[in-house]
């Protein structure tokens, strides 16, 4: 089968690999749509702490089951499924405490084990979820990023009637806008440098979207969702918080970077800072929510590429106009 392989030094290749075989408790999936996300952009250049190379990327995906391994009872060949890429150990203190995303023995599919940028991928059945009837593969491949947003928002107070600001209108920021709107946020303010992404934010339910250079500090935000990963946006988000406001750090800021922080601000305004990483236990909730959001969410997919054009997909994902780039591994180029 064909698969994209990354070496972690900026190179990628489409290679021939042996077909995976479903081991006990595994299913083999023919991926139909695979999202490219910020993690992949870091992974390509080896700038991701848990990346193991060489690796087949692709951790946000949906596809069709083509083989089931011994002992698999929940699934059958032909079913459409999505996959929570985080395979946790299930027995450590973090796993037992219901926070498998923090498991020290986590094996994320497409990061440390081979992912879905291939004609086939084998995954454990316990991370496989049946797609709701009629849901498109494009929407199915967006369940993973939606589950990251749902987990993140589990870490903040409820959004209902809150004044929300979203920093960074990439696919995660835009999913946060969609979910905040559905949750009854009072106001949604987006800060984003790309005009195309600002327009998308307003189309998807933000009240306004402004360039960071034009943003003013008025301390009128209850919940600031940092989804850009830029240190300057983190600082701006903290500055925008009203009394008792909450900063939600979702963006991956390079581990080398720091921001100036005045502890007085935490004290004086009684601020709360929370972090959020990956899916935790929110995948099933995202599967259940997706049919209600499907049509809106599919508008996030601005570019699609076959497997053989992985480099173009990465370039597109870096561009200002991209919202979500999908690889279609089983679509042949013609």
Binding residues for Zn ion (CB under 5 A): 37, 39, 60, 88-89, 92, 95, 103
Minimum CB–partner distance for residue 103 and Zn ion (Å): 3
The rounded distance, in Å, linking the Cα atoms of 300 and 60 is 14
289 SS3 class: helix
Nearer to Zn ion, 272 or 304 (CB): 304
Cβ proximity to Zn ion: between 50 and 218 the closer is: 50
- List CB contacts of 134: < 8 A, sequence separation 6 or more: 291
CB of 105 to Zn ion, least distance (A): 5
User: CB-wise, 53 or 161, nearer to Zn ion?
Assistant: 53
Q: 92 or 187, CB closer to Zn ion?
A: 92
By beta-carbon proximity to Zn ion, the closer residue of 173 and 245 is 173
| Distance from C-alpha of 19 to C-alpha of 120, rounded to nearest angstrom | 7
Of the candidates 222, 139, 207, 209, which has an alpha carbon nearest to the alpha carbon of residue 169? 209
Of 37 and 200, the one with the shorter C-beta distance to Zn ion is 37
Nearest distance from C-beta of residue 101 to Zn ion, angstroms: 10
Q: How far apart are CA 202 and CA 197, in angstroms?
A: 9
Whichever of 55 and 241 has its CB closer to Zn ion, that residue is: 55
- Measured between alpha carbons, how far is residue 42 from residues 49, 202, 314 in Å? 9, 28, 11
| Helix 171-182 × helix 143-154 angle, to 10° | 60
* Strand partners of residue 221: 241
CB 69 → Zn ion: shortest distance, Å?
A: 22
CA dihedral of 204, 172, 93, 51, whole degrees rounded to 10: 160
* Residue 262: partners with Cβ closer than 8 Å, 6 or more residues away: none
Closest of 331, 302, 325, 329 to residue 116, by C-alpha: 329
Q: Which is nearer to Zn ion, 39 or 228 (CB)?
A: 39
Q: Which is it for the CA torsion 328, 318, 250, 98, positive or negative? A: positive
Cβ count near 298 (within 10 Å): 14
Give the DSSP H/E element, type plus range, for residue 302.
strand 301-306
């Amino acid at each position: 089968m064909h698969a994209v392989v990354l070496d972690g030094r900026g190179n990628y290749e489409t290679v021939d690999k042996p077909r995976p075989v479903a081991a006990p408790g595994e299913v083999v999936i023919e991926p139909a749509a695979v999202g490219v996300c910020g993690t992949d952009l870091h992974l390509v250049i080896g700038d991701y702490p848990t990346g193991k190379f060489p690796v087949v990327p692709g951790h946000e995906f949906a596809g069709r089951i083509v083989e089931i391994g011994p002992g698999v009872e929940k699934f059958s060949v032909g079913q459409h499924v999505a996959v929570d890429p985080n395979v946790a150990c299930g027995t450590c203190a973090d796993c037992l405490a219901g926070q498998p995303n923090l498991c020290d023995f986590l094996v994320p599919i497409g990061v440390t084990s081979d992912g879905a940028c291939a004609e086939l991928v084998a995954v454990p059945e316990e991370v496989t979820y049946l797609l709701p009837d009629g849901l498109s593969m494009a929407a199915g491949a967006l369940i993973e990023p939606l589950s990251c947003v749902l987990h993140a928002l589990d870490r903040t107070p409820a959004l209902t009637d809150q004044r929300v600001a979203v920093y960074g209108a990439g696919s995660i920021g835009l999913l946060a806008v969609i979910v905040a709107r559905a949750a009854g946020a009072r106001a949604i303010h987006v800060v984003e440098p790309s005009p195309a992404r600002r327009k998308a934010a307003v189309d998807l339910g933000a009240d306004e979207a402004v360039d960071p250079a034009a943003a003013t500090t008025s301390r009128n935000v209850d919940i600031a969702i940092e989804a850009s990963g830029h240190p300057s946006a983190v600082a701006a988000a903290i500055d925008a918080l009203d009394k008792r406001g909450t900063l939600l750090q979702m963006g991956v800021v390079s581990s080398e970077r720091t921001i100036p922080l005045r502890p007085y601000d935490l004290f004086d305004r009684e601020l709360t800072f929370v972090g959020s990483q990956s899916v935790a236990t929110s995948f099933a909730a995202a599967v259940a929510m997706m049919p209600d959001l499907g049509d809106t969410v599919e508008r996030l997919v601005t570019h699609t590429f076959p497997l053989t054009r992985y480099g173009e997909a990465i370039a597109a994902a870096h561009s200002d106009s991209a919202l979500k780039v999908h690889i279609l591994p089983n679509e042949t180029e013609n």
